[in-house]
């Protein structure tokens, strides 16, 4: 399928000319893309629009998790972590740790995790990061 009037204009996804526009017509809110005449979405009421916006926020939470990106915060607040983060930031201390599949609180990986207690609460990593920051000013 080609655009009837835009056959000479090549679509450039990096061109930045795919801006969404919204307007009101016949008591509905329309959403469209100025680069694609075939894409148009309309909302009959606030509930429909809210559902659409909620969906956007849901995707946004996936893309940008509402967690601190600060490593120090993460290390301090971590309840469980993966083996890799545990050995990087902590010292393995006990032999009776219970591993389970879960999310690493430090690197977000979905893998085998244990409580940070098993790695001395990542205190060596926390001290190291604190020291590095202090010397960096
Ligand atoms: Zn990890």
> What does the pLDDT look like over 100-113, one tens digit per residue?
999 999 999 999 99
Same domain, 81 and 131: yes
Mean pLDDT on 33-49: 84
Cα–Cα distance for residue pair 17/6, rounded to 1 Å:
13
Same domain, 24 and 46: yes
Distance of CA 61 from the midpoint of ligand 1 (Å) = 20
Distance of CA 73 from the midpoint of ligand 1 (Å) = 14
Which residue did the predictor score with more confidence, 3 or 120? 120
Domain assignment present for 98? yes
Distance of CA 3 from the midpoint of ligand 1 (Å) = 48
Domain assignment present for 2? no
Same domain, 79 and 24: no
For the beta sheet containing 80-82, the strands, ordered from the edge strand earlier in sequence to the opposite edge, are 80-82, 110-115, 100-103
Distance of CA 56 from the midpoint of ligand 1 (Å) = 28
Same domain, 56 and 77: no
pLDDT score for 32: 87
CA separation, residue 18 to residues 4, 113, 116 (Å):
18, 43, 46
Distance of CA 84 from the midpoint of ligand 1 (Å) = 6
Mean pLDDT on 109-131: 93
Task: Check: CB of residue 85 under 8 Å from CB of residue 107.
Answer: yes
The total number of structural domains in the chain stands at 2
Same domain, 50 and 87: no
User: What range does the domain containing 127 cover?
Assistant: 71-136
Same domain, 48 and 88: no
End-to-end alpha-carbon separation of the chain, Å? Answer: 59
Residue 94 has pLDDT above 80, yes or no: no
Distance of CA 134 from the midpoint of ligand 1 (Å) = 24
Same domain, 121 and 87: yes
Same domain, 78 and 132: yes
Burial class (CB in 10 A: 0-12, 13-18, 19+), 80: buried
Selection from 38, 114, 116, 39 nearest residue 76 by Cα: 116
Distance of CA 88 from the midpoint of ligand 1 (Å) = 9
pLDDT score for 67: 58
Distance of CA 47 from the midpoint of ligand 1 (Å) = 40
């Amino acid at each position: 399928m080609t655009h009837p009037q835009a056959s000479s204009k090549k679509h450039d996804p990096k061109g930045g000319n795919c801006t969404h526009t919204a307007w009101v017509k016949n008591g509905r809110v329309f959403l469209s893309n100025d680069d694609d005449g075939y894409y148009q979405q309309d909302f009959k009421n606030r509930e429909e629009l809210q559902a659409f916006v909620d969906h956007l926020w849901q995707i946004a939470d996936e893309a940008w998790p509402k967690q601190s990106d600060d490593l120090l915060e993460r290390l301090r607040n971590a309840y469980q972590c993966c083996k890799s983060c545990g050995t990087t930031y902590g010292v393995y201390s006990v032999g009776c740790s219970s591993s389970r599949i879960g999310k690493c609180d430090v690197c977000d990986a979905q893998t085998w995790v244990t409580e940070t207690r098993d790695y001395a609460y990542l205190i060596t990593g926390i001290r190291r990061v604190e020291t590095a920051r202090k010397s960096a000013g």
